[in-house]
Amino acid sequence: MLSRFFSKFWKSTEGSVLAYTAMFGAIAIGGGALAVDIGQIILLKSEMQHRADAGALAGARQLDGRDGAQARALAVATNAMLDRSGVTGGSALPVYSVDFLSELNPDVAATDDIDAKFLRVTLNTQQVNFLLAPVLGAFTGTTQDSTLVDAFATAGSNIRICEAPPLMICDFGETNASDALALPANYGRQVRLKEPNNSSSSWAPGNFGLLALPDGSVGANDIEEQLAAVDPLECYDVDVETATGSKTQKVKDGINSRFDMPGNPWPYPAPNVIAYPRDDDLIADPDAKLGSGVWDIDTYWNDKHLGAATPGDLTDASRYQTYLYEQGAVYLKDGKKTLYPDPGGTPPGSYVRVTPPGVDIPVAVDPLNEDDPNFDGVPSETIASNGDQRRVMKIAQLQCIADNVHGHGSYPTHGNFIEVFVTEPVSDPPEAAIYGEVIRALTVTNSLEYYANVGLLE
């Protein structure tokens, strides 16, 4: 009986199902191999693209037109999100190249920091070895055992600065690099900003001029209104348009809106309107435009605070630091460098926290002087909504010599904006200079009003 069973089995044609089983099994194994390897390629491509995107976005944020923009962008793009891939055995995903472009489609290479509007990050090509290449090859006949994966990303940045008055100055750094007001070593120095003598000729460092409003308006009343505004309208791009004419009285009234002076047509003064002394060298030389930052704080404090000695926290303090101290505001200081508002936590680097004992704004002893900022710092009108920042202005610094700035025209700012503390009211013409103390240079990392709107383009 058993022999008859085996005889029938060997003669049966039903065994052909084994061939089909073997064939479909091979297809299944090959398909599985293909699926695994394709999954690796997709995963690596995703890892690389995220890395390229992150580098491009981080780098584009540095393209603010300032000197060194490309170098900063290169460093950030190269080091941003240094991922390692699980597909390639934990190896890094390094950047192959970072290219700076002024235009896209067709691409035009940037020639300098101002011209660099876009950044393209390209990663090193990565090789993916097929894990099941022998199995796949046996069933498909292919001899390929690996493939290459690449990735790149392009991003651009639209730099804008908001809440800035329509005011520019010529950069002192053009004639002496060490006098560039954006350098931390120059924080606390006082500037005497003067109108150019002739708007048809090029302006020199220390001259100030007016800007058209972001919407293009150049009317005297419009400019005065924005000089006096608590929150100036709209935002300026990296390039600005200058406005013709000095409009001296308009400038005087607009700037002095911060000081609660009798007869000034604009409301909302700062919470402390006291006028601070000038740098010693600006007092000694009426033609000088840039002081050293040395001023007589001891005499000021004795005169304005009923004979009291200068507090220890104000030793070698800037006028801006003194201004904050008199209002009882907590801030961080490192020499003339100031961090305000207080970011909290442990002060970074060499900064120390200054905590005043309370509000101590100067008050005039003689009631006849109570409306004079030279004697009295307490305003009588409603204080501006931006509080102590009312006397802080964001000012564009133009390369007046290199860019031949004069009259009306469109000029690059090179991303060079500084914050200036207005130290005293503007006097009547012809002595209508603006006196201010440098607080800091503005960047996309230290100012909420300095925007770098970045986005991926490819």
Q: Are residues 186 and 272 in the same domain?
A: yes
Q: What is the largest CA-CA distance in the chain?
A: 134
Q: Are residues 142 and 190 in the same domain?
A: no
| C-alpha Rg value of the chain to the nearest Å | 33
Share of the chain above pLDDT 70, in %: 83
Beta-strand pair 352-354/331-334: antiparallel
Distance CA 83, CA 5 (A): 65
Closest C-alpha among 104, 118, 123 to residue 69? 118
What is the pLDDT, as a whole number, of residue 20? 45
Q: Which two tokens stand for residue 152?
A: 């790149």
Any domain includes 75: yes
User: Which residues make Cβ contacts (< 8 Å) with residue 313, sequence separation at least 6?
Assistant: 325, 354, 356
**pLDDT tops 50 at residue 15:** no
Any domain includes 455: no
Residue with tokens 């501006």: 384
Q: Are residues 100 and 216 in the same domain?
A: no
Residue with tokens 């200079």: 433
Q: Is 26 exposed, middle or buried (0-12, 13-18, 19+ CB in 10 A)?
A: middle
Among residues 142, 158, 174, which one ends one of the domains? 158
Any domain includes 328: yes
Which range of residues forms the domain containing residue 443?
163-450
Q: How many CB atoms lie within 10 A of CB 353?
A: 16
**pLDDT tops 50 at residue 2:** no
What is the pLDDT, as a whole number, of residue 112? 81
Among residues 158, 191, 218, which one ends one of the domains? 158
- Write the single-letter amino acid at 147: T
User: Which residues make Cβ contacts (< 8 Å) with residue 387, sequence separation at least 6?
Assistant: 270, 271
Distance CA 133, CA 87 (A): 16
Any domain includes 456: no
Looking at 18-27, 170-179, 196-205, 331-340, which range is the least confident one? 18-27
What is the pLDDT, as a whole number, of residue 245? 78
| Most trustworthy range by pLDDT among 12-21, 83-92, 247-256 | 247-256
What is the pLDDT, as a whole number, of residue 86? 54
Q: Are residues 273 and 406 in the same domain?
A: yes
What is the pLDDT, as a whole number, of residue 378? 97
Question: 3-class DSSP state for residue 325?
Answer: helix
Q: Is 179 or 24 the better-scoring residue by pLDDT?
A: 179
Any domain includes 88: yes
Mean pLDDT of 432-455: 84
Any domain includes 62: yes
Element spanning 218, H or E: none
Residue 325 — pLDDT band, cuts 50, 70, 90? very high
Q: Are residues 127 and 90 in the same domain?
A: yes
Q: Is 56 or 412 the better-scoring residue by pLDDT?
A: 412
Mean pLDDT for the chain? Answer: 84
Q: Are residues 132 and 281 in the same domain?
A: no
Q: Are residues 117 and 174 in the same domain?
A: no
Mean pLDDT of 77-88: 61
Q: Are residues 153 and 170 in the same domain?
A: no
Q: Are residues 27 and 146 in the same domain?
A: yes
Residues 392-419: pLDDT tens digits?
Answer: 999 999 999 999 998 889 998 888 999 9
Any domain includes 4: no
Q: Looking at the 3D structure of the chain, how many domains does it have?
A: 2
Q: Is 50 or 423 the better-scoring residue by pLDDT?
A: 423
Any domain includes 359: yes
Peptide bond into 106 cis (omega under 30): yes
What is the pLDDT, as a whole number, of residue 390? 97
Residues 115-170: pLDDT tens digits?
Answer: 787 888 888 888 777 665 555 555 555 556 777 888 888 887 777 888 999 999 99
DSSP per residue, 361-390: ----SSGGGTT-TTT----SSPPPTTGGGG
Q: Are residues 171 and 61 in the same domain?
A: no
Q: Are residues 216 and 180 in the same domain?
A: yes
Among residues 127, 142, 158, which one ends one of the domains? 158
Q: Where are the alpha helices (DSSP H) in 203-279?
A: 220-228, 248-256
Q: Are residues 224 and 368 in the same domain?
A: yes
Distance CA 281, CA 314 (A): 21
What is the pLDDT, as a whole number, of residue 59? 79
pTM summary value: 0.76
